[in-house]
Amino acid sequence: MDNLFDLSGKTVLVTGSSRGIGKQIALQMALQGANVVISSRKAEACDRAAAEIAAQVSGSNGGSVTAIPGHIGFKDQLEDLVAQTNERVGEIDVLVCNAAVNPYYGPMAEISDSAFEKVLDCNIKSNHWLCQLVLPQMVKRNEGVIIMMSSIGGLYGHSTLGTYSLSKAADMQLARNIAIEYGPHNIRANAIAPGLIKTDFSKALWENEDALRATADTIALRRIGTPEEIAGAAVFLASAAGSYMTGQTLVIDGGMMGL
């Protein structure tokens, strides 16, 4: 193959892709020729993101972009998302479980049951559901890729993001389990663990200049990352370039964990 990163003709479903890291992953996949499905809770946001990505891909021999909304917290909506993707775009070659929630910032001792359950339901159970829905068609084709968007929070203890970090550690293990169970079917599963990335989702961690400066001092590159710097890794894992990587967590944190 001349281009190890070529995704021409592949159907890629990216959850939580109307903005932030998910949107950038969808864009970069489409630029590599993939037929991408944009999905998040609100139809209007999906349509807007799909139109913006399609405009950027136009004229580049890129793939198609389709908006299919769905709430990750409801299994019936995920079932519909997968069914519509299969019908309108094609069977799913690459599943990127990017959508996540974090409704609480503080010590685990004070989190409400409802907030705790929401984090685990949306960040772990929904990914498990999606994998259950998509893996059978991958087994049938003897090929497929699953990418879990995790976080470096899942690699160490945290005083204010404990529950969120717990869910992200579980996503790493989910990728490892799938890699072992489905490796014989030529299905690869990996996780990406970003550090602090400049997105709306992490705004509370970087919008304060003093806090941002203090955080940057703990990072080898002395800055936080951008969604584009995560999207490239997703393309690598989805493509032939990453064809011998499975069961791994790729840490992309500007060197924060190395200090």
pLDDT value at residue 207: 72
Is residue 194 in some structural domain?
Answer: yes
Is residue 94 in some structural domain?
Answer: yes
Is residue 209 in some structural domain?
Answer: yes
Is residue 88 in some structural domain?
Answer: yes
Q: What tens digit of pLDDT does each residue of 89-135 get? A: 999 999 999 999 999 989 999 999 999 999 999 999 999 999 999 99
Measure the CA–CA gap between 81 and 72, rounded to whole angstroms: 10
**Catalytic residue list contains 164:** yes
Is residue 4 in some structural domain?
Answer: no
Is residue 72 in some structural domain?
Answer: yes
Distance (Å) of CA 37 to CA 34, 57, 108: 9, 14, 35
Q: How many domains does the chain have?
A: 1
End-to-end distance of the chain based on CA atoms, in angstroms?
38
Q: In terms of residue numbers, what domain contains 246? A: 11-258
Q: What tens digit of pLDDT does each residue of 71-89 get? A: 999 999 999 999 999 999 9
Is residue 1 in some structural domain?
Answer: no
**CATH number of the domain to which 80 belongs:** 3.40.50.720
Q: Running along the chain, 259 residues long, what does each successive block of 10 average in pLDDT?
A: 91 97 97 98 98 93 96 97 98 98 94 97 98 98 98 93 96 98 98 90 73 87 94 98 98 88
Please tell me which residue in 104, 105, 164, 182 is annotated as part of the active site: 164
Is residue 6 in some structural domain?
Answer: no
Q: What is the pTM of this model?
A: 0.95
Measure the CA–CA gap between 95 and 143, rounded to whole angstroms: 12
